[in-house]
Amino acid sequence: MSEQPIPVARFKAGRIVTTPKALEMLSHEDILRAIIRHQSGDWGELDAEDCEANDHAVNHGLRILSQYRSEKGVKFWIITEADRSSTCVLLPEEY
């Protein structure tokens, strides 16, 4: 069994916060895996246009939004603010 390489973070996440509803619906593993993916530039379930917008945002200091699904199929978002001071894990209906 070979070890998976640890992804390299493309940007700082700042303070990571999670809404109460997201904490209720998602496991800590779901959240941790998604944050690693988010910071490495794996934008999850976004279309090509939104992925391109995120790549541009990383390089130009704009807000970054990714979308993932938990192991149980719950859709959730991760948003990193433009100034990279904070990253929020939330459910789409909480936006």
pTM of the model: 0.93
Greatest distance between any 2 Cα atoms in the chain: 41
Q: What is the pLDDT along the chain (95 residues), one digit of tens a residue?
A: 567 777 899 999 999 999 999 999 999 999 999 999 999 999 999 999 999 999 999 999 999 999 999 999 999 999 999 999 999 999 999 99
Q: How far apart are the first and last CA of the chain?
A: 41
